[in-house]
Amino acid sequence: MSHGNRMCARFSLAFAALLFSSVFSIAAPREAGPVILIQNATILTVTHGTLEHGSILIKDGKIAEVGPAIKAPKDAKVIDAAGQFVMPGIIDCHSHIAVEGGINEGSISVSSIANIAEVLDSDDINIYRDLAGGVTTANILHGSANAIGGQTIVIKLRWGQPASKLPFEGALPGIKFALGENPKRSNFSLPGQPKRYPSTRMGVEETIRGAFTEGRDYKNSWDTYNKRVAAGEKNLIPPRRDLRLEPLVEVLEGKRYVHSHCYREDEILMLLRVAKEFGFKVRTFQHVLEGYKVADELAAAGVGASTFSDWWAYKVEAYEAIPYNAAVMTRRGVVVSINSDDAEEATHLNQEAAKTIKYGGLTHDEALKLVTLNAAIQLGIDKRVGSIDVGKDADLVIYNHDPLSAYAVAQKTIVDGRVLFDRDKDIAERAALEKEKKDLLEKQKKAAEKKPDEKKPDEKKPETKKPDDKPKPPSDAARRDGGEEMVDSLAGGAQ
């Protein structure tokens, strides 16, 4: 079988940029946004304190100016935020929203062939709901069913834009790892399914080590091939491209972040050892509920920790958690964030961060950083977002109270200088949407009702009119008891 050069030509360009294109090149330049001036606000910059009665000028989607009193340029849309608080848009370092068709490729223990970037669901209503909770950026992760899970991506919550416009331009893609009970599947089994390897923590370690050994060999085979081509050798068969191993090579080359789900100290240290052995870095440990036990090791390894505020004991490996985790790790020099792992939890991450003031005594700014700047650092996007600084993306939330207060409700959420959530507007639009829904419902109900009517004469299958069935006048007694059918069937049985 030889398929000629035409086939080769057709394919030659096809995959040159397949892997990266979905992550990097699809984000088209956006048109300039409106000029907005936010006035009279309490500005929580996160990096340089709080500014009372301050203004923020937004131009071209960026923060153009921050100061005590900025004169509104011509054509600027002015938002009077008197008595209100502005903070940087919240960054959720562990989210599973906006994904179509399942967040787990759970069939295999190394599912790195799957890429979340390809199944982003820009229509997921959770994008809007999370915006309403002040979230502007989210790290969309594969699930934790596998020792090495799928490829992950950071998105901005650009509600209303197509999926290709969601990825955070320039943010390094990631890959999900998972340690402990989920990848070894001790919490569930599927009836009729064989148990998938691994089923112990030892096996999880072996799976990761095995995959990276393969990845290293794969990288070597390409390096060797490229050298031989460079040396002028002809008629070489290139190594077969392997989409499962390519992301692992990117991890080895530092082009892809590792975000690893974990709970226990032993597994945390295990992954640090494996990473050292293969020469890659773990970017963040996720959940990391026992992180407080190994905070020094985390800090020394320069690994970020993204944890829950006070959610624990939902399974054995989560028993040793304490609400002081974030504060303890912060005090020991770890870059810590608090994440949601859940669409609803994401709508009040500001309050989750506030709990660290009670549990561990973090300062106001330290608490805010847990859901803004620190998450940005962990995701490598802190030059763009995470604080209110001139030149950064205009990703902002306006709250009616201090965002760390239990009374705080987001009023407006701005992404790239565009107001994508406006509480007043949302409330104002509800009646019209309700009406539209009601009208459509009526229209469709009517259409659905019309159909069976048309067919009625044909559909009356004379099931009860078998030739041996004589119509029986139902007795009054049977009617009273509601036992008409039973009387009939008894009569039939007696025949």
Partner 1 sequence: MRSVLERIGFSSLIGLIASASLLVAAPSCFAQGGEPQYFAIRSARVVPVSGPPMEDATIVVARGVIVAVAKDATIPADAWVIEGKGLTVYPGLLDALTDVGLPPPPPPPAAEGTPRRIGEAPRGPEDRPNSTPWRSSADELSLSDKRIETWRSAGFTTVVSAPKPGFFPGQATVLDLAGERPGDLVVKSPVAIPVSIRPISGFGSGFPDSLMGVLGYEHQVWLDTEWLTKAEAAYEKNPKGIARPRFDRTSAALADALEDHALVLLSGNTALDIRRALELTDHWKVNAAIYGGQAGYEVAPEIGAKKVAVLVDLKWPEKEKDSDPEDFGSLRTLRFRDRAPSTPAAFAKAGVKFAFYSGAITNPKDILKAVKKSIDAGLAPDAALRALTLSPAEIYGVSDRLGSIEKGKIANLVITDGDLFNEKTKMKYVFVDGRRFEIREIERPKDPPKGDITGKWRLSYTSPEGPEESTADLTMSSDGTITGTLTSKRGTATILSGYLSTDRFNFIINIPIGPSFADVTFNGTFDGTSLKGSISVQGFSIDFTGTKPTNSSSLGKLAGAYRGSYYEGDAR
**Burial label, 109 (beta-carbon count in 10 A; 0-12, 13-18, 19+):** buried
Query: Total residues contacting partner 1 (rule CB under 8 A)?
Result: 76
Is residue 123 part of the contact set for partner 1 (CB under 8 A)? Answer: yes
Of 472 and 479, which has the nearer Cβ to partner 1?
472
Is residue 13 part of the contact set for partner 1 (CB under 8 A)? Answer: yes
Q: In which element (H, E) is residue 399 found?
A: strand 396-399
Q: Which stretch binds partner 1 (CB under 8 A): 296-304, 305-313, 328-336, 442-450?
A: 442-450
Is residue 71 part of the contact set for partner 1 (CB under 8 A)? Answer: no
Chosen residue from 73, 83, 102, 361 binding partner 1 by CB under 8 A: 102
Compose the 211-250 pattern: x for residues touching partner 1 by CB under 8 A, - for all others: ------------------------xxxx-xxxxx------
Amino acid at 129: R
Neighbouring-strand partners of residue 156: 137
Compose the 147-166 pattern: x for residues touching partner 1 by CB under 8 A, - for all others: ---x-----------xxx--
Is residue 199 part of the contact set for partner 1 (CB under 8 A)? Answer: no
Site for partner 1 in 449-488 (CB under 8 A): 457-462, 465-468
Per the CB < 8 A criterion, the answer to whether 156 and 164 are in contact is no
- Give the torsion sign (CA, 102, 103, 109, 111): positive
Is residue 440 part of the contact set for partner 1 (CB under 8 A)? Answer: yes
Is residue 430 part of the contact set for partner 1 (CB under 8 A)? Answer: no
Of 75 and 463, which has the nearer Cβ to partner 1?
463
Residues in the chain: 495
Q: In which element (H, E) is residue 274 found?
A: helix 265-278
Note the helical H segments in 231-264: 246-252
Q: How far is the CB of 58 from partner 1 (least distance, A)?
A: 29
Is residue 113 part of the contact set for partner 1 (CB under 8 A)? Answer: yes
Of 71 and 465, which has the nearer Cβ to partner 1?
465
CA separation for the pair 335, 329 (Å, rounded): 8
| Rg, the chain, Cα only | 29
Q: Which stretch binds partner 1 (CB under 8 A): 270-278, 352-360, 410-418, 433-441?
A: 433-441
Is residue 139 part of the contact set for partner 1 (CB under 8 A)? Answer: no
Of 18 and 491, which has the nearer Cβ to partner 1?
18
φ/ψ of residue 414, rounded to 5: -115, 130
Per the CB < 8 A criterion, the answer to whether 164 and 181 are in contact is no
DSSP-assigned letters across all residues of 133-162:
TTEEEEEE---SSSSEEEEEEEEE--TTS-
Is residue 68 part of the contact set for partner 1 (CB under 8 A)? Answer: no
